[in-house]
Structure 1
Amino acid sequence: MTWWDAAFLAAAGVVGGLTGSIAGLASIATYPALLVVGLPPVTANVTNTVAMVFTAVGSVWGSRPELKGLGPWLRRILPVAAVAGAIGAVLLLSTPAEGFEKLVPVLLGGASIAIAIPRGRAQEARVANHQRHTATILLESAAIFLICIYGGYFGAAAGVLLIALLLHAGHASLAHANASKNIITGVSNTVAAVIFSFVATVNWVAVVALGLGCLVGARMGPVVVRHAPAGPLKVLISLAGLALAVRLGIEAYS
Structure 2
Amino acid sequence: MTPWEVVAILAAGLAAGAINAVVGSGSLITFPTMLALGYPPIVANVSNTVGLVAGGVTGVLGYREELKGQRERLLKLGAGSLLGSVVGGLLLLSLPAKAFQVIVPVLIALACVMVVLQPRVQAWLSARQDEPHPHGGPWLWLGVFAAGVYGGYFGAAQGVILIGLLGIFLDDHLQRVNAAKNLLSLVVNLTAAVLFLIVAEVDLWAALLVALGSLVGGFVGARVGRRLPPRVLRAVIVCVGIVAIVKLVYG
TM over 0.5: yes
Offset of residue 10 of structure 1? 1.1
CA–CA distance in 2 between the matches of 1:111 and 1:176?
18
Moved more, 96-105 or 56-65: 96-105
Return the letter of the residue paired with 2:221: G
Note the C-alpha offset of 1:246. Answer: 2.6
DSSP 3-state at the match of 1:172? coil
1:179 alignment partner in structure 2 = 179
In the TM superposition, what whole-angstrom CA distance separates every residue of 1:168-200 from its partner, at most 9, and x where no partner exists? Answer: 112422211111011101011111111111111
d(CA) in 1 for partners of 2:79, 2:121 = 31
* Aligned pairs for 1:34-183 within 5 A: 34-120=34-120, 123=123, 126=126, 131-133=131-133, 137-183=137-183
SS in structure 1 opposite 2:96? coil
TM-fit CA distance, 1:112: 1.2
Q: Cα distance, 1:37 vs. partner?
A: 2.5
* Residue type of the alignment partner of 1:85: S
Q: Distance in 1 between matches of 2:29 and 2:165?
A: 24
What is the CA–CA distance in structure 2 between the aligned matches of 1:226 and 1:13, rounded to whole Å?
20
1:113: Cα distance to partner?
2.3
Q: 2: CA distance between counterparts of 1:201 and 1:91?
A: 15
* Alignment-mate amino acid for residue 221 of structure 1: G
Name the SS for the 2:59 alignment partner. helix
1:198-233 C-alpha deviation (Å, 9 max, x unpaired): 111111111111111101111122221211222122
Partner amino acid for 2:236? L
Give the Cα–Cα distance (whole angstroms) in 2 for the partners of residues 122 and 141 of structure 1: 16
- Structure 2 Cα separation of the partners of residues 7 and 250 of structure 1: 26
Inter-partner Cα distance in structure 1 for 2:134 and 2:209: 44
Contact 1:55 1:218 in 2 (8 A): yes
Between the aligned partners of 1:118 and 1:209, the Cα distance in structure 2 is 37
Counterpart of 1:19 in structure 2 is: 19
Q: Secondary structure at the match of 1:117?
A: helix
Q: Over residues 26-60 of structure 1, what are the superposed CA-to-partner deviations in whole Å (9 max), with x where a residue is unaligned?
A: 01211112123221111101111111111211111
Query: For structure 1, which runs of at least 5 residues remain unmatched after alignment?
Result: none
Q: Which runs of 4+ in 1 moved over 3 A?
A: 124-127, 133-136
| Contact 1:124 1:170 survives alignment (8 Å) | no
C-alpha offsets along residues 83-110 of structure 1, whole Å, 9 cap, x if unaligned? 1111110111011121322111111012
Alpha-carbon distance in 1 for matches of 2:135, 2:156:
29
RMSD: 2.3
Q: Partners of 2:189 and 2:136 in 1: how far apart?
A: 25
Amino acid at match of 1:155: G
Distance in 1, matches of 2:37 and 2:172, equals: 41
Query: Could you tell me which amino acid in structure 2 is paired with residue 161 of structure 1?
Result: I
Unaligned 5+ segments in structure 2 are none
Paired AA for residue 59 in structure 2: S
1: CA distance, partners of 2:78 / 2:132: 18
Aligned-pair CA distance for 1:135: 10
Letter in 2 for 1:149: V
TM-score, normalised on structure 1?
Answer: 0.91
Does the 8 A contact of 1:171 with 1:177 survive in 2?
A: no
Question: Following the alignment from structure 1 to structure 2, what is the Cα–Cα distance between the partners of residues 217 and 135?
Answer: 30
